[in-house]
């Protein structure tokens, strides 16, 4: 257990390899991930950007994330949950469209004028988040970065469930973390101050 997210991030920074600041880009994929990413960026002098991704929740269970949509209006959804809740493709497509137009685009416009892009000198992407819970957000991020095709993708997270390391290890070059947990409950359980 960590005192707070800053302590967990400092340990994460210690576990990162020596990163050349000219070829790396740190990218946060959530609001809490932004806290971690900014701290890493400042400590290592590496440029940072945010990729906006929004969750889509199941209408039959509002606590259940069923899909994600990114800045490019691409979506990724959990097929098992889609089938379990008997959600048809048209309903999901409409939810993605609404989320993109009414929540995601306004957020992007507040922060920048263009959609996310990678500078030409970047060959390594470090995806940063506070943790990986269901894996949907990380899947969406990886899918998004694969569209650029020329960069190697890495993950950096302070707290990661063991099963998520197994799940993502073949999808990226490497996963860096502060603490690995056998069983994941919720993020607040890993900090004294949260």
| One domain for residues 180 and 152 | yes
Please indicate, yes or no, if residue 26 is contained in any of the structural domains: yes
Q: Which residue range is the domain that position 61 belongs to?
A: 54-111
**Shared-domain flag, residues 126 and 157:** yes
Please check whether residue 165 lies inside any domain of the structure: yes
180 and 93 housed in the same domain: no
- 178 and 94 in a single domain? The answer is no
Q: What is the pLDDT of residue 150?
A: 74
Same domain, 34 and 127: yes
Q: What is the pLDDT of residues 167-180, one digit of tens each?
A: 999 999 999 999 99
Residue 194: pLDDT band by 50, 70, 90 thresholds?
Answer: low
**Cβ neighbours of residue 176 closer than 8 Å, sequence gap 6 or more:** 12, 15, 16, 17, 154, 155, 156, 157
pLDDT for residue 151: 83
* 186 has pLDDT over 70: yes
Please give the average per-residue pLDDT across 61-73, as a whole number.
89
pLDDT digits (tens, 9 = 90+) for 82-141: 888 888 888 888 989 999 999 999 999 999 988 899 999 999 999 999 999 889 999 999
> What is the tens place of the pLDDT at every residue in 10-44?
999 999 998 877 899 999 999 999 999 999 999 99
The reported pLDDT for the residue numbered 74 is: 93
Residue 20: give its domain's CATH number. 3.40.50.2020
Q: Considering the domain boundaries, does residue 178 fall inside one?
A: yes
Res 81: pLDDT: 82
d(CA 43, CA 49): 15
The three-class DSSP label of residue 69 is strand
Domain boundary among 65, 90, 111: 111
- Does residue 116 lie within any of the structural domains? no
Same structural domain for residues 89 and 183? no
Per-residue pLDDT of 39-59, as tens digits, reads 999 999 999 999 999 999 887
Assess whether 163 and 103 both reside in one domain. no
Give the pLDDT score at 86. Answer: 83
- Per DSSP, the three-state class of 81 is helix
Measured CA to CA, the distance from residue 37 to residue 19 in angstroms comes to: 14
Count up the domains in the chain and report the number: 2
In a shared domain, residues 10 and 91: no
pLDDT at 76: 87
Residues 160 and 80 in one domain: no
Nearest Cα residue to 129 out of 9, 20, 7: 9
Distance separating alpha carbons of residues 4 and 28, to the nearest angstrom: 18
Same domain, 126 and 186: yes
Is the domain of 172 the same as that of 79? no
Higher pLDDT, 184 or 68: 68
From 111, 142, 160, the end of a domain falls on: 111
Tell me, yes or no, whether 172 and 143 share the same domain. Answer: yes
């Amino acid at each position: 257990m960590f005192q707070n997210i800053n302590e967990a991030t400092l340990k994460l920074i210690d576990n990162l390899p020596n990163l050349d600041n000219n070829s790396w880009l740190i990218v946060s994929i959530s609001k809490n991930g932004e806290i971690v990413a900014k701290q890493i960026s400042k400590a290592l002098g590496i440029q940072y950007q945010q990729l906006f991704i929004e969750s889509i929740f199941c209408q039959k269970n509002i606590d259940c994330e069923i899909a994600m949509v990114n800045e490019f209006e691409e979506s990724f959804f959990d097929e098992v949950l889609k089938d379990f809740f008997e959600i048809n493709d048209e309903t999901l497509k409409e939810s993605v469209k609404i989320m993109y137009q009414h929540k995601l685009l306004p957020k992007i416009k507040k922060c920048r004028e263009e959609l996310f892009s990678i500078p030409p000198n970047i060959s390594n992407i470090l995806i940063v988040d506070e943790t990986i819970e269901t894996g949907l957000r990380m899947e969406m991020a990886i899918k998004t970065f694969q569209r650029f095709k020329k960069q190697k993708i890495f993950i950096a997270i302070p707290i990661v469930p063991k099963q998520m390391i197994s799940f993502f290890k073949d999808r990226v070059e490497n996963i860096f973390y502060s603490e690995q947990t056998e069983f994941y409950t919720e993020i607040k359980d890993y900090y004294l101050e949260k």
